[in-house]
Amino acid sequence: MHIKIDDTVEVMAGDDRSVRGKVLRVDHSLRKVVVEGINRIYKHVRRSQKNPQGGRLSKEMPIAIANVRLVCESCGQVTRTGARYLENGSKERFCKKCGTGIGQLAPARGAYAKK
């Protein structure tokens, strides 16, 4: 999975289609992400000391990672990502449309450094 926390993504399917938001959480085992302002539900809460008013709380629920696409910061388009090694041996994500680096995936390793 090449989607990380604080990435901007666009929803490709569902009720919130074509809406962009920031990733809050990523669950790798379930392959789901929680996006800010997307897939909101109402949870009805009883009055208590913690919540004296009671009523309805609105919260985001996870959506499948297959239903979101990463938005490139430099070109602003919805894109796929790839991984490549740099000259110093570190691994980075890059935009498949414009080719710019998005962020580092792994630290530098001598075996992958170009000589």
* pLDDT at residue 115 in the model: 75
pLDDT of residue 86: 93
pLDDT at 110: 87
Amino acid in the structure at residue 41: I
Residues of the chain with pLDDT under 70: 1
Task: State the pLDDT at residue 1.
Answer: 67
Residues 6+ apart with CB under 8 A from 72: 78, 79, 95, 97, 98, 100, 102
At residue 2, the pLDDT reads 85
Global pTM value: 0.84
pLDDT, position 25: 97
pLDDT at 99: 94
